[in-house]
């Protein structure tokens, strides 16, 4: 029997989740700077990784300027109208840039277009952020 202690699976998993969360935060920051790269999805993923590894980092992220979007997503699967519009316009612009710069074959253009259309349909189908600028249906 080996008496040398090895790192537990849970501490290894925690370290991996923290690293992945930090990577997602980095990508989210890049997305906040670059016009066609998404931002919120990376912060959503970072919050998920941190919720499984570091309550302190999760709380920091939830208290950041992206916190309300993260809470809307976590609690209701909701995306604000503004974020939806930005995402849809970004997808359209990204696809147009892909078509112009890559000059893909017809098959590749159709495959990529179908993938982007499916993503756009998913984003558009999400409920709007609860209670931001719309009255609640119960009258309260």
pLDDT at 86: 85
Each domain of the chain, given as residue ranges in start order, spans: 8-77, 78-132
Residues, the chain, total? 140
What tokens appear for 37 in the block? 């790269």
pLDDT at 4: 52
Give the confidence band of 80 by pLDDT, cuts at 50, 70, 90. confident
Give the confidence band of 137 by pLDDT, cuts at 50, 70, 90. very low
pLDDT tens digit sequence for 94-136: 899 999 999 999 999 999 999 999 999 999 999 988 544 443 3
User: DSSP string covering the chain, please?
Assistant: ---S----HHHHHHHHHHHHHHHHHHHHHHHHHSTTS--HHHHHHHHHHHHTT-HHHHHHHHTSTTHHHHHHHHHH----HHHHHHHHHHHHHHHHHHHHHH---HHHHHHHHHHHHHHHHHHHHSPPPTTSSS--TT--
pLDDT at 98: 93
Kindly state the percentage of the chain with pLDDT values over 90. Answer: 54
The mean pLDDT value for 15-23 works out to 96
Residue 35 has pLDDT above 80, yes or no: no
């Amino acid at each position: 029997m080996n008496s040398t202690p090895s790192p537990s699976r849970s501490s290894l998993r925690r370290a991996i989740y923290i690293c992945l969360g930090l990577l997602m935060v980095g990508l989210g920051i890049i997305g906040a700077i670059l016009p066609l790269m998404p931002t919120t999805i990376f912060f959503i993923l970072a919050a998920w990784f941190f919720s499984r590894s570091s309550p302190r980092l999760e709380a920091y992220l939830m208290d950041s300027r992206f916190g309300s979007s993260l809470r809307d997503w976590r609690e209701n699967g909701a995306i604000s109208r503004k974020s939806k519009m930005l995402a849809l316009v970004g997808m359209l612009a990204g696809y147009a840039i892909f078509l112009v710069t890559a000059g893909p074959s017809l098959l590749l253009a159709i495959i990529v277009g179908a993938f982007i259309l499916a993503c756009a349909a998913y984003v558009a189908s999400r409920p709007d952020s609860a209670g931001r600028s719309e009255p609640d249906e119960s009258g309260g």
